[in-house]
Structure 1
Amino acid sequence: MNPSSHASRPISTAMSRQLIGTRGQLTSSMGTQAAQGVALGTTVNVSERPVTQQGMRGMKTAAGPSRQVQDSSYYVGVLHNKVNELEAEITELDNEVRQHNRAMNEFGGLRRRHETLLAEVRGLEGTLADYNLAMDKARASTDPAELDAYVVEFEGKNRRLAEEVDRVFVLKKQKDDETKQLERQIEALREQAQRKINALGPTELERYDGLLARSHELTRQRDEVLAKLEAAKAKEASDGGRQLSHAEAYDALSRKLARLEKDETNATEELAIWEIEDPKEALARLKQRIETQSKEVKSLDGVAKDLEEQIATTKKQIAELDAENEADGGRAKTEGEKYEKLRKRDEEMTEFIHSFDETKASTLEDQRQTQDTIVALLEHVSQGLEHENNMPSQQQLREMRDEATFKERQLESSQQTTLRLLQEKKQREAELAKIDNLDEKIQIELASLEKKMGVMRADMIEFDDLDGLRRRAAATMSALSRLLKEYQGRKETIRLQASQVSAKYEDLKAKINASEAHKTLTDLEAKLKTYAQTIFQLQEYVDTKSRQTDYKQLKENCNHLVDNLNAIAKKRNME
């Protein structure tokens, strides 16, 4: 039947009376059954209703009527559904809260259990280290008296450490009490200052604000003055490092004068040598002078070697003292070193077990090579026994040995003669090279000496003017004295200004430390540190539990076992 035909029919009286309530078995929008009533129990012929065959949610005709009557039961059903949803959500939230609380309780218990087990593990590690040390001493056949001495030494160290810890704890407690007392005093002073500020009148309060602004301005000026003072100090230090005092300048000039006088004497002697007309006598004088200078150089070399030996001896003594100090400091680390030795020995044993197959193979290969070598040696011995009948007589052997000895002596004598001749040849060649280069060296040395003489003559002319030197020295001294007095005056002025500004700065710093914001920031910083430590501990606990609940290896083993079982089953089916 076409649904549109039902829409065009008139509704009968009985049907109209039945439709006063609502449609039977009406469902809400969520699909649950609506509330029941007297009107809801009336029989309704659904096939004659002006709706589609698909129900209330199905397809509708464009001209079909909508719902005619919507009574309170419909909305009661909707409310019931919403209430049920809210109750389900509340139940779910309650379950989540209970689960969260249970997890938190379990977390606290597991955390305490973790700490207990960690302490137990650390104790067992210490016991294991003691057992390993005892086993090591037993294997090394250590005297029990030595072990008793170690025990006494460790007990003394532990006792001293405990006393030190107690002393530090008492000192910390005293410092904490002093700090709290100072904080209370600071708080009282701050409250007193605040009361005084609150008691000020408008004029005085305005004056206080002006003084506070003036304090900030002075603080800024103080910073600028301190920066200038530091720059002046740096400049003064650099000037003092570059400029010598008058006494040091006098000593430097005296040394320079002595050196120049010595150079003048040497130049005069060399000039006297070169003014000699007889070349042989001049050459002899020059050789004598060169020999004298060579002796002086050798003596200075000897002094330098002695100093080097002294330096080496001193360094050796310092190294020995450092070694002794390290040995003294190393006694305190005996326990750690023993534990490290035990650990290394355990690693060596583990490495030996892992590399046993390779070591065994290499050992077998060495045995095989040794056997081959023994076989080759036996063959060589057998060949020697075969040639025994062909050996020369004792007389022939003695003659051959004598001849070989004579030839070796001749060879050694010839080699020694050859080496000696080669050395003499090198010496003669070196002497010839020196003689060939002597003329050029003499010319170069003469030119350099002439230049030095010119410089020395100019310096002598300058040094002859003693009055001029005195005037220049006096002018320099007066200028330096004037600058020194000026810098000293500036230094005193800046020092006074800096002391005043520093006092004001300390007062302001004390006020800032006594402020409520400073205390609040300090408390927040302590809380942040506590939170960071808690987060780190929780993260460490989570990582530990993640490692303990790692199921990947177990999953791989199960998959591997299942694959093996499947392969066995397939093989049996095929058989």
Structure 2
Amino acid sequence: MSKRPTTGMRVGTSYGRAGTARLKTGMRTGTARLGTGRMGTARMGTGRLGTAAMGGGIGGALNTQVTVGERPMTQHGLGGTRPKTQGPGRMVMDESYFLGALRAKSTELTEEINKLQKELEQLQRDHTSYTTYEKKAEALAKEIQALSGQLADLNALANNLNDNVDIDDVRADVDEIRARNDRDAAEVDNIFSDRNRVESRIKEIEAEIESEKRRTENIVTEMEPDQRREYDALHEEAETLQKTIETQQSSLDELTAAADALQRELEANPVKREAAALLDQIAALRSKHAKVKEQTEKEALLSPEKLKEQLLAQVKADNQEISGMERKIANVQQRINEISSDVADLDAAEDEEDDEKRQKYLQLVKHEQEMDTFLLSFDSTYDEPKPGPF
């Protein structure tokens, strides 16, 4: 193994390329300049013995002829490119680098935590102050309410003094107000008692419902598979029926609302109200006609004796009804006569302002007579003899 030369004895590194060997710093040759460019960039080495030149000895490297290589032409001539004024920064990220970065982040976190802690303390102080102010505001509100009551009493007293109200009247008012307050207090107590009683009852019912639910769940759990399937089917059917009931109830509510609206509209319009009354009468007559027709069909199947008995009973009932109708007709006729007399009096007065009202009155009388005529014709039609089997 060859002995390593000392630092002062190392020659430039050589890899077999001409012009790359470097001498020590003190052994650099002069660099001749040509125009604006330097003659060459080859420098003698710092003296370190290269790997390729270890076996050739020191003299071989020193005797190597130095030649200047061709420098590439740039846009600035032979001046060459400028080296960077600043390096790429720290390239090796060792333990100290990461420790420094961690300390910086830890410092930032500590500062932020301290800042948030200060804000939290400030918010707590503000909350405490707000609570204190709120209590003070409530106390002041109560005091203001009490003072307002006293002020109202003093104002009432001043008004009574200004009006020279007797002290007995004031005492009577006070007694009346006290009695009313006592009644109101008793009513409030009753309402409060009723509410407590209702709430207690509701809690009892809820407890009973929960107990029934648990009992039902236990029963369902203990069911046989067939019974469980039947129970599930019935449960689904019950849910379906419940949904159907809710849908029908909603439809019923809508129809009820529409009927109420139509009823209000009918009440607001006299013509529609009268038409509705006539429709009701027609419906009643049709129902009566259907009953008579059904009765006639039944009578056709009866024997003559039974039919005769029924007809006699029907005649008696009809006679009673006719008597009642005749009394009603007499009353109506009397009312018509009275109205006719009033109409005659109105005709004698003959005032222009009441002419329109009189015409409407006459129309109403005429309409009432038509209704009476219709009822009489209906009764006569109803009383016509019906063909029987005998």
For normalisation by structure 2, the TM-score amounts to: 0.45
> As a proportion of its length, which structure holds more helix?
1
**Which has more radius of gyration?**
2
After TM superposition, the score normalised by the length of structure 1 is 0.32
Greater relative contact order, per chain length (Cα 8 Å cut-off, separation 6+): 1
